[in-house]
Amino acid sequence: MPLQDLTPQLRTRLSRLERWVGIFVSFATLLVLVGLFFYIRQMARDKGWYKRKLPYFTFVDNAAGLKVGDKVKMMGFPIGEITEVKPQPPEDALYNVYVAFIVQEDNDGYLWDDSRAKVGAGDFLGNRAIEVTKGTNGAPSYILNEVRTNSVSEAKQYIGSASYFIGQDVWDASGRNRLARPGQPITDDLLRRFEGAGVDTFQVLDKTVHLRYPKYIWDFKAGRYAPFDRKDPVIGKGYFLPPRESPALTERLDQLIDQVQEAIPNYLALTNRLNEVLEQAVRATADADQLLADARPLVANMNRISANLTNPRGSLGDWLLPTNLNTQLTGTLTNARMTLASANRMLTNTDARIVELATTLDRALEELAGITSNFHRQVDANTNILSDLSKLVVDTDNMVQGLKRHWLLRSAFKEKATNAPPRSTSRKAVSPKDAGR
């Protein structure tokens, strides 16, 4: 329906609706633009678009595992990325591959003239990574302060100031003795040394001036700061970090394979020797089996002997001392004890030495009786008891015989007189021939 055919009330309402729709679309468009602006701003912060990026470069022998966009790390944290990897000219005999990278703001202050670029394995897939080391002693690679060149007389105004420092390596006229390092405070004694060594001018760091982007870069060859211009084809490359490169994973694998190939002949010889050793071990095992088979009867006999030794009856004591010998030995010892008791009674009033001797003998015989009563137990503990007992009996008999011969005890052992046996008559043998005569 054409608009002119509508009533005035409908046209008024429709115009109001169109106005609100236009306002809504405009507001939505504004919100989208504001959101897009904040998104781009946040992404720029995350990507570091607003951060200061300082150029550095190094050299490697092999570009394997390195590519543009790889992260550069320091102390395990990403601080930048690789921007360029290209081969060196053919006439360059020192280095093969040029690697350039950038370091983002807040991390460039860690890199000094003693920092190094370590190139090592990044993972097990052959990739490599660059990790720079933190500087500990020396001059910062870039300086974010103003650097002035002053004479010794002009530098006297900075004595004792906490904002002005030495900005270079200061040497004497001979170039052999270093008088000052970068970062040292300016003192009166130091300036007098400069004057005495013939130093006219030197660089001074002005810490009162802070720059957003560095104007000076450290020249390690000259030992001083030089103006930094990114458009300069030489200085614009950035600061050079000496490399510390480890071989790539593929090179290590090749070296490992070469070592394995060299070791294979030795390994085969070793396996042959192991086979010989195993064969000798098999023969030794067979001989051992035969030896064990031969030793089985001996082990069985030892088992039977040990079984007899564990039994109260038929043990080693009964083997060494039969029952009849044991009885006779007991009777002999009893008689000896009785005899010694009689002698003890007879010698009670004699000399004290003889009394002490008789008492000692009585104790010895009592102990001997105790030994006899527990003879079976002692036999298990001592296999030489028979010889000891025999010696004891012989010694006892010798002692008794000695007592019999002693003049003091001789009367105690007198034997009673008995009828003498008839004397046997012996006849001389006579030959049968002589008997007939």
Total Cβ atoms within 10 A of residue 269: 10
Long-range contacts of 172-181 (CB under 8 A, 24+ apart): 172/197, 172/198, 172/199, 173/197, 173/198, 173/199, 181/138, 181/139
Q: What is the pLDDT of residue 323?
A: 65
Q: For residue 412, name the pLDDT band (cuts at 50, 70, 90).
A: low
pLDDT at 297: 84
Q: For the chain, what are the domain ranges?
A: 3-47, 52-144+211-246, 156-203, 249-308, 316-412
Full strand arrangement of the beta sheet holding 145-151:
145-151, 201-210, 164-166
Q: In which residue are the tokens 């004694």 written?
A: 189
pLDDT at residue 284 in the model: 86
Give tens-digit pLDDT for 241-274. Answer: 999 887 665 666 666 777 777 777 777 777 878 8
Which pLDDT does position 99 carry in this prediction?
95
Indicate the SS3 state at residue 183.
Answer: coil
Per-residue pLDDT tens digits for 53-84: 899 999 998 888 899 999 999 988 999 999 99
pTM strictly above 0.85 = no
In degrees and rounded to multiples of 5, residue 145 shows phi and psi of: -125, 170
Q: For residue 339, what are the contacts with CB-CB under 8 A and spacing of at least 6? A: 400
DSSP string, 188-229: HHHHHHHHHHT--EEEEEEEEEE-SS-SEEEETTTTEEEE--
pLDDT at 105: 84
Which residue type sits at 188?
D
Q: Read off the pLDDT of residues 210-230 as tens digits, 9 standing for 90 and up.
A: 888 899 999 988 889 999 988
Contacts of 136 (CB under 8 A, 6+ apart): 112, 114
Whole-number pLDDT of residue 376:
64
Interval 162-211: pLDDT, tens: 899 999 999 888 878 889 999 889 999 999 999 888 888 999 999 988 88
The predicted pLDDT at position 419 comes to 56
State both tokens at 236. Answer: 């614009």
What SS3 state is found at 101?
Answer: strand
Mean pLDDT of the chain: 80
- The per-residue pLDDT for range 91-140, each reduced to its tens digit, is 888 889 999 999 988 888 899 989 999 998 777 777 888 999 998 888 89
pLDDT for 314: 53
For residue 142, name the pLDDT band (cuts at 50, 70, 90): very high
- Give the pLDDT of residue 352: 62
- DSSP string across 116-132: -EEEEE-STTS-EEEEE
Secondary structure (DSSP) of 240-304: E--EEE---HHHHHHHHHHHHHHHHHHHHHHHHHHHHHHHHHHHHHHHHHHHHHHHHHHHHHHHH
pLDDT at 321 over 70: no
What would the DSSP string read from start to end of 309-351? HHSSSSSHHHHHS-HHHHHHHHHHHHHHHHHHHHHHHHTTTS-
Q: Alpha-carbon Rg of the chain, whole angstroms? A: 60
Beta bridge partners of 226: 217
* Long-range contacts, 4-11 (Cβ 8 Å, 24+): none
pLDDT in the model for residue 361: 72
